[in-house]
Structure 1
């Protein structure tokens, strides 16, 4: 693997966008445009629109069309956990087994699934617990403390 390959940043970008919208609304604005959010994230507005469309399906944001179009939070920052965001954008498990069944006649091929399933299940449970314990309001408070 090359050193230039980056980890999946969708959770980070989604958290950034939602937290930015929440702060923008707390400062008295009703809706945020994808262009405004993209400026903060430093990405293309199309990337933000696609991500917000996914978050919208989960009820985390609501779009307003027409005059004054833009995006609003679907719930208060304090009512959205990192787990909510994660589940909206990464619906599958963190780790998966082989796409094809390994050779059952091979000792490793036969035992790899059961050996890793327990570990993967434990990692998944720990990840979900950790993400569920942090709200986007917590994230915003940490951001504001640091600045």
Structure 2
């Protein structure tokens, strides 16, 4: 199983745009952000498209094309970013139906569904409490 890095890359992109804007730059390009994240600009553009749909960034075309934040970093929570780029649940059940004739097979999905619901609410609450300003400050402190 591989971990999903979409939230991390989206938070990276938004924190980078916020810092870049603070340095006096009006817009950031997907190429600049991709260089920081060490990924392909297409990956960044796709994520930024989802973040734009969620109202977190705006794109500007023509001369001076690029991306800007719609709000300050302190006003954007990681939960908003998560909801914009990760639409699925944190955990999934079996792809197929387990053996219903087996006591464990019969009860595993309801049991895990209840556990996962609690875990997901805990994660969502932590993401709700954390802003992108918190993320950027932690990044800058790690220098």
Identify the TM-score tier after normalising by the shorter chain: over 0.9
Q: Which runs of 5+ in 2 are unaligned?
A: none
Matches of 2:35 and 2:139, distance apart in 1: 17
Runs of 4+ with deviation above 3 angstroms: none
Match among 32, 40, 45 for residue 36 of structure 1: 32
1:94 aligns with 2:90: yes
The alignment partner of 2:120 has SS state of helix
Structure 1 alignment gaps of length 5 or more: none
RMSD: 1.4
Q: Distance in 2 between matches of 1:110 and 1:44?
A: 44
- Cα distance in 2, alignment partners of residues 53 and 82 from structure 1: 17
Corresponding residue for residue 23 of structure 1? 19
Length, aligned pairs only: 143
1:43-97 per-position Cα deviation (integer Å, ceiling 9, x unaligned): 1111111111111111111101111110011221011111111111111211122
Q: TM-score, normalised by structure 1?
A: 0.91
> When the two structures are superposed, what TM-score results if normalisation uses the length of structure 2?
0.93
